[in-house]
C-alpha cells in the first residue's frame, strides 16, 4: 500500500509543477504584452507630438517665385499681392505680403548700377538674426535698422547677405541680396505702410516695441521659411 501511495504522489507533484509553470508563463506573457502595448502607444503619441511640432507652418500658404526660384510660407490670413508695375523696366518681380496693422513684407528683384543712390543718412543698426535657408550657398541675415523721419523713429526689417550696409557692393537702402540673375539684386523689406495721403512707410514706435509686435515676429517666421 505504501509503495502504491508513493507512485500516486509523483504524478500529483508533476501536475502541480506543470500548473505552476503555466501560471508563471501566463503572467510573464501578459506583462510583456501589456508593456509592449503601452510602449507602442507611448511611441505613437510621441511620434504624433513630434510630427505636429515639426511643422510650425501648418495651415500656411506657399508662394513660389517665378523669377528667383525660391519659395516662402505665409499665414493664410495675410494677403499676397503682385505689385509689379509694368511701366517699371528695372524690376522683374515685385510681391507684397500684408499682415495686420498695415505691416507689409515686400520682395523685389530689381536692377541697380554702381551709380544708384538709395542711401540712408543717419540710419542706425539695431539687431541681426542669422537666417537658415536651403541651397542659397551663403549666409543670410535678418537685419533691423532705424532712422528718424519727421522727428519720429522709423524701422525697416531687411534680409541680406550683409550685416553692414557699407559692406554692400552698392550702397542701397534697404539691404539686399545678390543671388539672382546677372545685373539684378533681391530686396526684402518689412515696414508699416502708412495709409492715406502721405503714402510713406513711417513706424511710430520705439525699436523695442517694433521688435515685439506680433506681425513683425510673424514676418521673421516668413523669412525663416525661405527655401531655394
The tens digit of pLDDT for each residue in 106-148 reads: 988 887 665 655 556 667 777 788 887 767 778 888 888 777 7
Query: Into how many domains does the chain fold?
Result: 2
Distance CA 40, CA 149 (A): 61
Phi, psi of 199 (to 5 degrees): 65, 15
Q: Are strands 184-192 and 152-160 parallel, antiparallel or unpaired?
A: antiparallel
Residue 115: helix, strand or coil by DSSP? coil
Cell numbers linked to 73:
510660407
Among the three residues 16, 31, 54, which one is the final residue of a domain in this structure?
54
Residues 119 and 207 in one domain: yes
Residues 40 and 96 in one domain: no
- Its domain, for residue 143, covers 61-224
Residue 162: helix, strand or coil by DSSP? coil
Residues 181 and 139 in one domain: yes
Q: Is residue 73 pLDDT above 90, yes or no?
A: yes
Residue 101's pLDDT band, with cuts at 50, 70 and 90, is confident
Q: Domain holding 220: CATH number?
A: 3.40.1000
pLDDT tens for 6-52 read 545 555 544 545 555 455 555 555 565 555 555 555 556 555 555 55
Residues 29 and 3 in one domain: yes
Residues 40 and 25 in one domain: yes
Output 72 or 125, whichever has higher pLDDT.
Answer: 72
Residues 93 and 200 in one domain: yes
Instruction: Identify the CA nearest to 226 among candidates 182, 179, 169, 193.
Output: 179
Sequence-ordered list of residues with C-beta below 8 angstroms from that of 131, at least 6 positions apart, any chain: 139, 140, 141, 142, 159, 223, 224, 226
Residue 79's pLDDT band, with cuts at 50, 70 and 90, is very high
Output 201 or 80, whichever has higher pLDDT.
Answer: 80
Residue 53's pLDDT band, with cuts at 50, 70 and 90, is low
Sequence-ordered list of residues with C-beta below 8 angstroms from that of 224, at least 6 positions apart, any chain: 131, 132
8 Å CB contact between 168 and 176: yes
Sequence-ordered list of residues with C-beta below 8 angstroms from that of 145, at least 6 positions apart, any chain: 120, 123, 124, 125, 126, 155, 156, 158, 165, 174, 175
Residues 122 and 190 in one domain: yes
Residues 40 and 152 in one domain: no
Residues 146 and 46 in one domain: no
Residues 136 and 161 in one domain: yes
Residues 46 and 71 in one domain: no
pLDDT tens for 153-196 read 777 888 888 887 777 777 666 677 876 656 778 888 888 776 54
The Cβ of residue 51 has, within 10 Å, a number of other Cβ atoms equal to 10
CA torsion sign for 63, 68, 70, 75 is negative
Residues 28 and 84 in one domain: no
Q: What is the phi-psi region of residue 107: left when phi exceeds 0, alpha when psi lies from -120 to 50, beta otherwise?
A: beta
Cis peptide bond N-terminal to 88, omega within 30: no
Check residue 74 and give its pLDDT: 96
Among the three residues 54, 74, 97, which one is the final residue of a domain in this structure?
54
Amino acid at each position: 500500500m505504501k509503495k502504491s501511495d508513493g507512485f500516486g504522489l509523483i504524478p500529483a507533484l508533476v501536475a502541480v509543477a506543470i500548473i505552476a509553470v503555466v501560471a508563471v508563463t501566463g503572467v510573464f506573457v501578459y506583462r510583456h504584452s501589456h508593456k509592449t502595448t503601452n510602449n507602442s502607444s507611448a511611441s505613437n503619441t510621441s511620434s504624433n507630438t513630434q510630427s505636429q511640432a515639426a511643422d510650425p507652418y501648418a495651415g500656411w500658404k506657399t508662394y513660389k517665385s517665378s523669377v528667383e526660384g525660391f519659395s516662402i510660407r505665409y499665414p493664410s490670413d495675410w494677403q499676397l499681392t503682385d505689385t509689379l508695375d509694368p511701366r517699371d523696366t528695372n524690376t522683374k518681380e515685385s510681391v507684397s505680403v500684408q499682415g495686420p496693422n498695415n505691416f507689409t513684407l515686400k520682395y523685389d528683384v530689381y536692377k541697380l548700377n554702381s551709380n544708384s543712390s538709395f542711401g540712408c543718412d543717419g540710419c542706425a543698426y539695431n539687431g541681426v538674426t542669422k537666417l537658415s535657408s536651403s541651397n542659397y550657398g551663403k549666409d543670410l541675415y535678418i537685419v533691423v535698422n532705424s532712422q528718424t523721419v519727421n522727428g519720429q523713429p522709423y524701422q525697416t526689417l531687411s534680409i541680406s547677405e550683409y550685416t553692414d550696409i557699407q559692406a554692400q557692393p552698392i550702397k542701397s537702402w534697404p539691404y539686399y541680396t545678390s543671388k539672382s540673375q546677372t545685373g539684378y539684386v533681391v530686396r526684402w523689406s518689412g515696414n508699416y505702410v502708412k495709409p492715406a495721403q502721405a503714402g510713406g512707410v513711417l513706424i511710430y514706435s520705439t525699436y523695442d516695441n517694433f521688435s515685439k509686435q506680433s506681425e513683425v515676429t510673424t514676418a521673421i517666421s516668413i523669412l525663416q521659411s525661405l527655401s531655394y
